[in-house]
Structure 1
Amino acid sequence: MTTTWTDPTCPVARALDLIGDRWTLLIIRDAMDNARTFTDFQQRTGIARNILTDRLHRLIDRGILHRHTAPTGKRQIYTLTPTGRDLFTVIVALRQWGERHAYTPDEPHSTLIDHHGQPLPRLHPTDTHGTPADIDTTTVHKSGE
């Protein structure tokens, strides 16, 4: 697979070139929530069959999903690769941003909980010393500078 990069030196742009589509992120989200078959993904997202087929192929080609035939031989099973599982933090960050900015304070929504039954704490980037980091305390160092 050859990818044409929107901005070859920017990791954010490259990541979006690989996974930045709404349907792709919803498929990844559902794979993290144990969706495994074409039907699982279609029912959970409501995505059209042709779009789902395209996104599943892209995710396989990009090393984010693995496809294998179920033991019955009747279905294809999709599972996250280590690269796909590594998107967990991205999905959690999007979820938490959505919880803060896409709902009114009293509006119900799903909650991601840990194995103790508790909501995950808010993600906070930190610097190398554990100090909170934000747009005022970080800069982008571009290659070749």
Structure 2
Amino acid sequence: MPKRTSHEDATCPVARPLDALGDGWSLLIIRDAFDGLRRFGEFQKNLGLAKNILSARLHNLVAHGILHTVPASDGSPYQEYVLTEKGRGLFPVLVALRQWSEEHLFEPAETRTRLIDKENRQPVAKVKILSQDGRPLTPEDTTITKRRGDE
């Protein structure tokens, strides 16, 4: 199998995270971590993923600081995988992907999961892109520029 091209030096912020997240399994592992799964066996059972592939994806997510390992909460000799702050920062990304999928990849009467606000038991509001002054933005309202990170 050919080696994947690294995007670690890309100036595009969409390309750069692909080294950490550019695989559907990685996003599903992160989804499961948000759903409370912590153990290798839990991820493997829920995803039905081959152990070697799951191991590689977990290792990559830990190496990129998205997950970290902690001793098992039950005192057993195992380890558990927990989202870091960097990993928790992916929550809006997963919500936006979920909402896009609900809108474009499901038939109206088709069964699907839904993200619900625990407090009011209502579906989470649709993710919106807003300007600095709060105006809703569309792709036509934006442009790409290059800048240094400290600017």
CA distance in 2, matches of 1:47, 1:32: 18
Q: Which has the bigger relative contact order, CA under 8 A and spacing at least 6? A: 1
Give structure 1 regions of 4+ aligned residues with deviation exceeding 6 angstroms: none
Residues 30-109 of structure 1 correspond to what in structure 2 (within 5 A)? 30-70=32-72, 71-109=74-112
Please give the alpha-carbon distance, in whole angstroms, between the structure 1 residues aligned to 2:19 and 2:147.
19
CA shift at 1:7, angstroms?
A: 5.9
RMSD, aligned CA: 1.6
TM-score, normalised to structure 2, is 0.88
Percent sequence identity is 48
Residue segments in structure 1 that go unaligned for 5+ positions in a row:
none
CA distance 1:7–1:134, change in 2 (3 Å): farther
Q: What is the deviation of 1:72? A: 1.9
- 1:4: Cα distance to partner? 3.6
Contact 2:39 2:81 in 1 (8 A): yes
Question: Which residue of 2 is the match for residue 17 of structure 1?
Answer: 19
Equivalent position of 2:133 in the other structure = 129
Task: Determine the C-alpha separation between the residues in 1 that align with 2:69 and 2:13.
Answer: 26
Unaligned runs of 5+ in 2: none
TM-score with structure 1 length normalisation? Answer: 0.92
